Amino acid sequence: MSENIVILMISISTILGSLGLFALIWAVKNGQFDDHNKFIDAVRHDNEEDLKDAAMIEEKKYAYQKKRKEKKNYMPPD
Q: Where are the domains of the chain?
A: 1-34, 35-73
Strands (E), 1-78: none
Q: How crowded is residue 70: how many other Cβ atoms within 10 Å of its Cβ?
A: 9
Cα–Cα distance measured from residue 37 to residue 34, given in angstroms and rounded to the nearest whole number:
9
At 31-48, the pLDDT tens digits run 888 877 766 666 666 677
Q: How crowded is residue 62: how many other Cβ atoms within 10 Å of its Cβ?
A: 10
Does 71 score more than 90 pLDDT?
no
At 55-68, the pLDDT tens digits run 888 899 988 888 87
3-state helix, strand, coil in the chain (%, to 5): 75, 0, 25
Displacement of CA 69 from its chain's centroid (Å): 27
pTM above 0.75, yes or no: no
Q: Determine the pLDDT at residue 44.
A: 63
